[in-house]
Each structure stands twice: as structure tokens, then as C-alpha cells.
Amino acid sequence: MNETHKRKVDTRVVVETPEGVDFQFVIAGPGTRAYAWFLDGLIKFGILALAGTVLSVLGVFGEAGANVVQGLMLLAGFLMDWFYGSLFESWMNGQTPGKKSAGLRVVRTNGTPVDLTSAIGRNFLRTADMLPFCYTVGLISMLMTRRMQRLGDLVFDTMVIDERREWISRTAGLTATVEPLVRSECPRRFSVPDRTLSVIERLFEPDRIISDARREEIARPLSEALRARLGYQDPAPDPRNPHTFFQAQGRKHTQFILRVLKTFSDDPEGAPAAKSVAQSSPAAVAKKQLPDHRSARRVATRKSSSLAESADDEIVDVDGEEFFHAIPNPESGSSGSRNPSGGSAS
């Protein structure tokens, strides 16, 4: 892991396993954690209220009974104060009920599950993190550490991760300024394979020093092949303002492949193409498209189980392979080894 890798401004943390493989966690921010904390507070209160009701029903036998009930309630309050978090976190592999419903999990900073000692310790140190009010100390500590750890996390080497990963963040910065493709612009049905998308990503990697003009040049064969596949036509110049059209001509291919990237990259929000159809077309069309949208969303959220099948689809999709070669590989230097128009001539 080199320095520039660490300096990235996002909430991902790379952990290397003993097997020498990197994998990524998304760190949970203060907002989500506060939400989980609030839920846990409600649950604690609910447990105490329930225990109080049950015990006081059982303890109606005179004054001594009432005293025993009070004693037990004090004990229960003590357990809730000091051990609620740690016991749940060690039994439920780093999750309290509140964290579970917020999709959070406590892990050690090396990615291994939290053990009982660390769980107890990080929850004990809440007392210090809460000072002077509303977790101010903890919040300051979270803002100052890369893994957003409060003091309890720092001392016991734990971090809170968000398991509802947002894979979109990988391309969000790249495609923030462009619009996704709309179905009405692309009459032909074609799904751009992952490999083509990662080629596009590589073309825009920040450490690749290419001038914009050269990038446009490299992008042209791929862009033309993709246009043919999708049946995309450039919109005609706006007669009222032709100037912008001609200005955009110089980078139309880079813009187009960025739009392709935005449209087809894996997005937990559902397939953007379908969404933009729902926005831009009449209500009847939107209705027809909705089921598709929903299923796309479902596939995206339970990716892990469905990918093995969808990977199979890609094997059938031989076209993707041709796109892969359609772009001159900047690393191998064998630029244009295949005729790019061959990809679109099918």
C-alpha cells in the first residue's frame, strides 16, 4: 500500500489478510452511528420497562418484595449501562440490535471479528467519549482519525464499518458532471460489459498523464464501436445556440464513454438507464419500465449470490471481448491491433 493510496479522501479502508489479499471496508460515519446508538437506547429502555413490569407483577408480596424488585432493577440498569453493547457485540459478531438494523458492524482494524475484551473496553470508554455532552469528545476524535474512531475504538483497536457498501463511489467523481444515457437516445438494446467499463475507468485514472486531446483520440475507436452497438446518434446542434455544440465537438468521444460508464456501472440505486426512462418519458412508459427497474435493484442488492449466474451471461456475450480489444492498450503499446470498425460491423 503506497502513500498516495492512503491519502484518498473517501471512507474506504483497505485491509490485508494473512493470505496477502487486500479487501475493502467502508467506514461508518457519525450520523449512521448516532442512529444506531439511538435505536439501541430505545431497545435498552424497552428491555428495562419490560423487566420492570414483569418484576413488579411478580413482586406484589409486601414491602420486602418491592425492595427485591428495586434491587433487581438496579442490577439490570447496571448491566444495561455497562454491558449491553459489549455482550451483544461479542455474541452477534460485532453487532448490537441497533447496529444490525443500521447495517453497521464493529470489527478490529485488521478486519477480524471483535473479541469480548475489546468489545467491553470500547464500550467502557463511552464514559469518556460522552464528555462533556452529546459525545463531543468522541466526535472530535472521529473527525481526526482516518478510520473515524472514537477514543474507545482507538484504545481497543476497533472500527465500525458500514456493510451496505456503495460501490458507485468508485466512479462517482469521474461521472459526476455527465448525464446518464437515456433509453430514447439508444434505440438498440445492448449491455456494456464490465471489462469495457473498467477499460474506460483506466483511461481516466488520475495518475495517467495524457492530454485531453490524446485521450479523445484514444477514446474514439471505443466510442464509435459503442455508438454503433447502442445505435446512439449525436443530437443535432441547437439552432438557437450552435456555439456550445461546436465547442463540445472536441471532446464528444470522451464525454460519450463517460456517459456509458455512468449508465452501466454497478449502482446500488438500481439501473440508472431505467430510472432516467421513468423520469423522461410519459407516465405509461414509466409504468411499463418499473418492474424492470425493481428487479435490477434487487439484483444489485443481493449481488453476491447472483453474480455467479450473471458472470455466465457474460461468457455468452462474445461482443464484449471485441470491445476489450477495440481500445488501444496504453500499457502494452499495441495500439489499434484490431480494426475498431470490425467490432461494429456485425
Partner 1 sequence: MNRERFIRDRRQDWQQFESLVARLKTTRQSKWANGDVTALSRLYRSICYDLSLVQSREWGARLEQYLNDLVAQGHNCLYRSPPQSVRSVWDFFAVGFPQLLRRRYKPFLLALALFLVPLLASVWVGYARPELAELVAGKEQIDQAIESYSKDMYTSADSRYSGERSRMFGFYVNNNTGIAFKAFAMGVLVGIGTCYVLITNGISIGIIKGAILAEGNPTADNFFSFIISHGAFELTAIVIAGAGGLVLAQGILMPGQRTRGDSVRFHGTEALKLALGAGGMLFVAAMLEGYFSPLPIPSIIKYSVGSCLWLLVVVYLTVSGRERTTS
Using the rule CB under 8 A, give the single segment among 183-191, 194-202, 209-217, 286-294 that binds partner 1.
Answer: 194-202
146 binds partner 1 (CB under 8 A): no
CA distances to 96, 113, 200, 312 from 154, in Å: 19, 16, 39, 44
65 binds partner 1 (CB under 8 A): yes
The one among 43, 47, 92, 155 contacting partner 1 by CB under 8 A: 155
Among residues 252, 217, 256, which one has the least CA distance to residue 335?
A: 217
Residues 107 and 140: beta-carbon distance below 8 Å? no
127 binds partner 1 (CB under 8 A): yes
- Which residues 85-104 are close enough to bind partner 1 by CB under 8 A? 90, 93
Site string for partner 1, 252-291 (x = CB under 8 A): -------------xx-------------------------
Among residues 304, 274, 276, 278, which one has the least CA distance to residue 167?
A: 304
Residue closer to partner 1 by CB (options 132, 239) is 132
Using the rule CB under 8 A, give the single segment among 36-44, 68-76, 248-256, 283-291 that binds partner 1.
Answer: 68-76
Residue closer to partner 1 by CB (options 18, 239) is 18
Residue closer to partner 1 by CB (options 240, 302) is 302
Please, what is the minimum distance in Å from the beta carbon of residue 279 to partner 1?
Answer: 25
Per DSSP, 27 falls in state E
Residue 160 bridge partners (DSSP): 106
Using the rule CB under 8 A, give the single segment among 74-82, 179-187, 220-228, 272-280 that binds partner 1.
Answer: 74-82
Per DSSP, 56 falls in state H
Residues 163 and 114: beta-carbon distance below 8 Å? no
Residue closer to partner 1 by CB (options 114, 230) is 114
CA neighbours closer than 13 Å in the CB half-sphere of residue 258: 18
- The residues, ordered by sequence, that sit 6+ positions from 177 with a Cβ below 8 Å of its Cβ are none
Among residues 124, 88, 130, which one has the least CA distance to residue 106?
A: 88
Cell numbers given for 157? 483497536
The one among 10, 29, 117, 243 contacting partner 1 by CB under 8 A: 117
Say if residue 152 is exposed, middle or buried (CB neighbours under 10 Å; 0-12, 13-18, 19+).
buried
Among residues 168, 112, 113, which one has the least CA distance to residue 301?
A: 168
Residue closer to partner 1 by CB (options 37, 278) is 37
Say how far apart CA 142 and CA 148 lie, in whole Å. Answer: 4
- Which residues 301-340 are close enough to bind partner 1 by CB under 8 A? 303-305, 307-308, 310-312, 314-315
Residue 336 identity (one-letter amino acid): G
- Which residues 18-47 are close enough to bind partner 1 by CB under 8 A? 19-24
User: Which residues of the shown chain bind partner 1 in the complex (CB under 8 A)?
Assistant: 17, 19-24, 62-68, 70-75, 77-78, 81-82, 90, 93, 111-118, 120-121, 124-128, 131, 137, 151, 154-157, 167, 170, 193-195, 197-198, 201-202, 265-266, 303-305, 307-308, 310-312, 314-315
